[in-house]
Structure 1
Amino acid sequence: MNAKELKSILQALQDHEVSELTLETPDYKLTIKRGPEVQYVAPPAPVPQNQPVPQAAPVVPQAPAVEAPPPKAEPPKEETGKYVEVKAPIVGTFYRAPSPDAEPYVKEGDTVKKGQVLCIIEAMKLMNEIESEVSGVVRKILVQNAEPVEYGQVLFLIEPA
């Protein structure tokens, strides 16, 4: 990972208010955490003079409870052996078509050629076309339109021709 890629990941975290990210590749594991901001509370109303005045203490806000995302639709392991997995090369938002009113690039059962565009992943307002690595038949689309995807997540299963 170079400095430009790291900078773009950090910018995406800030833009989407993500507090923690873990990225694992065969070569390294990167975990980025954003700490909570410290807030101070005003001291309480005055107390009688014979008692000491309490000092304001820093209050660390609790992170809101976040529901765990539903498990990713992963194909059964015995099914993936005969298919080529097309994985997300970047973190972003998956789109099946070039625009909301356009037809999807591919549908399940479509025959594709090597280099044919399968989808778009939007990352930091840039549209990145994802191309097929092989010629074959699209057997399974594992991601819904406009769904966020992670680096290395399987998007399509293609049966090689």
Structure 2
Amino acid sequence: MSQIPRPALFLGLAGLLPFLWAALGVIVPTVSDTTVAALGARFNAPYMLIAYGTVILCFMSGVLWGYATTSNRFLPYLMSTLPALWAFFMVGGGEKQATSALLVGFLFVFACDLQFRVWRLTPDWWIPMRALLTAVAMGCLFIGYLG
């Protein structure tokens, strides 16, 4: 972890806060109720997990697109678009279906991360950081799925 640039690690970890807050809201419903009272109904815990998970899955698709630009090959470009397309077509249909689609999407985007590393399109520190962030995000989504 020491080789990960501090800004990337700091912002990556900060990006987990909505996942962690929403997972806490699933476990402790009063946290979700208080958040809804303060910020509005769209900030209930299950919806936060789904909405934020969708945003981050699409964001990761864009990050992979950026790495694909260094290769000028078709397959990396194609792979980089699939997580966003997955989110668009598969996230919906209720809490369980949407959350399970996000879990699959995050597994797929991590598989893409690994393949992009094999192609040497990502920096050496990418996989250690992505493994940590993906594990925490998926753990939070799993809490939402079970909740």
Relative contact order higher in (CA < 8 Å, ≥ 6 apart): 2
With the length of structure 2 as denominator, give the TM-score of the two structures.
0.28
Name the structure with the higher helix share: 2
Name the structure with the higher strand share: 1
With the length of structure 1 as denominator, give the TM-score of the two structures.
0.26
